[in-house]
Amino acid sequence: MIARIWRGVTPRDKGDAYVAYLERTGVTHCRATPGNRGVQVLRRDTADRSEFVFISFWDNREAIRAFAGEEIERAVYYPEDREFLLELPPLLHHYEVVRRS
């Protein structure tokens, strides 16, 4: 299994709206893609920002390609992301899951 990990930051006052937006876009898109084994979204609020870690789990790299396209290291963004995110990091990371409880 492979974990695909993306990080993003919004202004804190947009954090709740971004969570709802993630559900409608990235979470729904991932879960609808064959080979997806689940999604976790983590959030950390500071005084002025909401930081997010989006972790999706996949059977293999072919399943990730079905979601992300040929360049699987590139982040997938949706039309309204620019309204929320302070930056749009172009790349993300993949990790082999060696243990899952």
Model confidence pLDDT, tens digit, residues 19-72: 999 999 999 999 999 999 999 999 999 999 999 999 999 999 999 999 999 999
pTM value is: 0.95
Q: How far apart are the C-alpha atoms of 42 and 64, rounded to whole Å?
A: 20
Alpha-carbon distance of 55 to 72, in angstroms, equals 14
pLDDT(92) > 90: yes
Distant-in-sequence, close-in-space partners of 90: CB < 8 Å, separation ≥ 6: 74, 75
The yes-or-no verdict on residue 101 having pLDDT over 90 is: no
What's the order of all strands across the beta sheet hosting 36-45? 36-45, 49-58, 2-11, 93-96
> What is the number of residues in the chain?
101
Q: What is the CATH number assigned to the segment(s) 2-96?
A: 3.30.70.100
Check residue 100 and give its pLDDT. Answer: 80
